[in-house]
Chain A
């Protein structure tokens, strides 16, 4: 039951929201919180009900540990708690990976037990570890179980974040318990707006560009030519952003409808002019977690330059592995560790206070985008062979295939044609996807939105629409009937697009 699914939109959400609002008006605060917790448990149970037992155990253990650490801070208990949480994650997420590597290294044939990773376990684990560390440090008060349960299970953030910090959410849950909510109607309107934008980003944009990436990274596009490889890599770059940030916007919107303000997760990351800047804008809540609970405890930048680079590498390698149990994710993390080290080294050479000019910022942006796109190739590819195939294609090793219409122009430039191995009218891999100009237009459109449009937070909080440096007051969001119609049309159109687009007609059956 994903946020864009019909059962969620037309059964779960209206029922849980309606009852929640009725309880908020007419019932005691603890019932409001309990209802929200029960709704969240029901939501999670729609996936694999058995995994609820694991979550229940983990919640009970972490709550008990939290109480124990609050009363008697003990490094051993904290270490036990971290080992427990990471142990659960490792067993469920990395057992198959470890066995496969052991088998490769030793020639053994240990069977893979085929453990299914419970949905949300990665996010859930980080949240719990952050909580018990803060309790140990004296940074978290004693919470009631009812409130703690909701903090952990709150369905908008449960599956894919944002990774919420207890200090952000628990006071808001306490407000609900105390029946304090300044503007329920206003929050509902803002929540719906966030949700509609997120739905559009996910269904209207991410899913539109997805087929290009999927095709290039599947086994069907043998040795993609340069054009195909770049289109595929850029398509995935856009897909992952709009998919994830769309989902985050939907989560933020849902939280707002239920009176909880969740943090924003994306700050137009593809506008970043350096890798350091990129990580301040991409998956902000994960970056904050890794900084606060891994990078800084490792010593951060306080123990010399070499140690700083080593810490960055450790954080990014583990961050990569957190995303998925495969060496390609580790490679993605390693690349970003390398990028960050180079970026910090560059700062050290240039001086941090140096104010780059327009050209330097443009060059920085281009370099950042290039580095990010290349790293995404490893993130998306199912294996190194595919990643290598796509990267070689991007580097022009498989030549360039242009549409047949380009033949007269290219034939007029025989030396260029030979030098770049350009051919025309051949079987361009992406041509087999069909879709025509509308599908191809979705890529530049998505790029413009990613680079020039405000984020949902900026739009709703800024009171104006900024397009680059231009401001359009007419496009400012207000809770008016016109905006309600426009946003509903955006969401309904996205749903219709999803409903009426038969994707992977062939490859997925």
Chain B
């Protein structure tokens, strides 16, 4: 048998290279304050009122633990199109659980995993349109699929993975590893360090990076950027999905059983998107059927905010073709709370929202809290981008 020295030498060199990657990863994670216990991180985030956008911890787990600590009376669920709702809209403790719920099926699982342990008194469920498109079995199945944001990564290989997926450059890794880009006092996580954006202690998003991107494009360009990708149901000929409708009923019943009032809202689109959708598909009748059915079944609990123009909003209050900004959501929450029989009537700070909407019409971001006040340049940029078209 040959001497094992060559075998061991080659193995050692390869192992050393791999260990180097692990070491670099450890430096990056350490410098961006992603190491260690998630509970301690959340506690520190709450103490300094900072932003979290990490990758080393499961996003679900972050949400779950934050929610459990806060035990809110009011919460909101949905996709990224529910994340702009902030705690200062409300008079009662609030936490934004937006992000991982795309279909009613997922809402049910979120209830099992997070909500049932500490049921809120009021829950806003921001509905997407696509799960209601039940043209074929395949689309019905799609209604049961999950939102792709919920994964987690092995933290020890996170940087390697991000590099391999082209989501981070070697230069950025170098800067993060050497501390040239650091998270700062109130930022937690790689993404927060790189973008300055993240989730506040109330779980809502502070998307400052989007604000900077918007500054580089004119208003129509914002809406062509994502259109077509956001909602495949715009181009499908669909019938109303019973899977989705039954899923809504099951979710509402489940939450009712633990004393939670559910408010259903259809997520908003800018007028450019709605006009584009109408041009693309002249058969959106299933959506009207869905609206009628939900309005009949859930009076004072269902609100159709697909089109915000009747509430005075304009497209400048949208970040892109699918995501409303903070003021757009202020309008929705305020409008739903005006109904005296709505569960939101008693928990929304309507006087504040009326003033804020009046003062900030045409803006995407208000951030009327410590996080916003610590970033005057960002608030000035939001003001500069304000428009009325």
Contact = CB atoms under 8 A, between A and B. Distances in A.
B146 interface: yes
Contact of A492 (B18, B106, B141): B18
B8 A188 contact: yes
Contacts of B8: 185, 188-189, 192, 479, 484
B141 A485 contact: no
A317 B53 CA distance: 51
B2 A479 contact: yes
A496 B164 CA distance: 11
Interface residues of B, number: 39
Nearest to B151: A502
| B5, B11, B14, B153 interface centre (most CB from chain A within 10 Å) | B11
Interface string A7-38: 10010001000000000000000000000000
Contacts of A492: 14, 18
Contact of A185 (B5, B10, B14, B144): B5
A178 interface: no
Interface residues of A, number: 33
Given A6-B22, A427-B137, A492-B18, A481 B7 contact: yes
A288 B340 CA distance: 75
B137 A481 contact: no
A426 interface: yes
A235 B243 CA distance: 30
B144 A432 contact: yes
Interface string B156-197: 110011001000000000000000000000000000000000
A505 interface: yes
A505 B15 contact: no
Nearest to B155: A6
A509 B161 contact: no
Interface string B138-153: 0001001010101111
A154 B140 CA distance: 54
B144 A479 contact: no
A80 interface: no
Nearest to B20: A10
B113 interface: yes
B178 to A, nearest CB: 21
Contact of B7 (A10, A432, A479, A509): A479
A499 B6 contact: no
A427 B7 contact: no
Nearest to B58: A509
A480 interface: yes
B1 A479 contact: yes
A488 B14 contact: yes
Nearest to A487: B11
Contacts, number: 92
Contacts of A495: 157
B154 A499 contact: yes
A500 B164 CA distance: 10
A506 B19 contact: no
A480 B141 contact: no
Given A189-B4, A480-B6, A509 B113 contact: yes
Contacts of B64: 509
Nearest to B137: A425
Given A186-B4, A478-B1, A499 B141 contact: no
Interface in B95-139: 100, 106, 109, 113, 137
B298 interface: no
Given A10-B22, A478-B2, A189 B7 contact: yes
B88 interface: no
Contact of B137 (A185, A189, A192, A426): A426
A189 B14 CA distance: 14
B227 interface: no
B286 interface: no
Given A188-B4, A189-B4, A506 B146 contact: yes
Contact of A480 (B7, B106, B137): B7
A484 B150 contact: no
A479 B4 contact: yes
Interface in A403-430: 425-427
A6 B156 contact: yes
Contacts of A480: 2, 6-7
A58 interface: no
B11 A484 contact: yes
B10 to A, nearest CB: 4
Contacts of B106: 506
A431 interface: yes
Given A186-B4, A509-B64, A192 B154 contact: no
A427 B148 CA distance: 21
Nearest to B160: A499
Contacts of B109: 506
Given A6-B156, A426-B137, A499 B161 contact: yes
A425 B138 CA distance: 10
B161 A500 contact: yes
Contacts of B6: 479-481, 484
Contacts of A6: 22, 154, 156-157
A484 B7 contact: yes
Interface string B47-84: 00000000000101100100000000000000000000
B3 interface: yes
A496 B165 CA distance: 13
A341 B58 CA distance: 50
A175 interface: no
Residue picked from B7, B10, B18, B150, most chain A C-beta under 10 Å: B7
Interface string B226-251: 00000000000000000000000000
A421 B6 CA distance: 61
Nearest to B113: A509
Nearest to A11: B22
A483 B19 CA distance: 20
Given A432-B141, A432-B144, A505-B151, A499 B157 contact: yes
B88 to A, nearest CB: 28
Contact of B10 (A14, A426, A485, A506): A485
A189 B2 CA distance: 11
A137 B40 CA distance: 55
Nearest to B64: A509
A185 B11 contact: no
Contacts of B7: 189, 479-481, 483-484
Contacts of B19: 10, 14
Nearest to A488: B14
B11 A488 contact: yes
A95 interface: no
Contacts of A273: none
Contacts of B15: 488
B1 A427 contact: no
Contacts of A192: 8, 11
Nearest to B110: A509
B154 A427 contact: no
Contact of B141 (A188, A189, A431, A487): A431
A509 B63 CA distance: 10
Contacts of B100: 509
A273 to B, nearest CB: 34
9 contacts: A188-B4, A192-B11, A425-B137, A480-B7, A492-B18, A502-B151, A505-B148, A509-B100, A509-B150
Given A427-B141, A479-B7, 19 more contacts: A6-B154, A185-B3, A192-B11, A427-B137, A479-B3, A481-B9, A483-B7, A484-B11, A487-B11, A488-B10, A488-B11, A488-B15, A492-B14, A492-B18, A495-B157, A500-B164, A505-B146, A505-B148, A506-B150
Closest 3 CB pairs of A and B: A509-B60, A6-B156, A479-B4
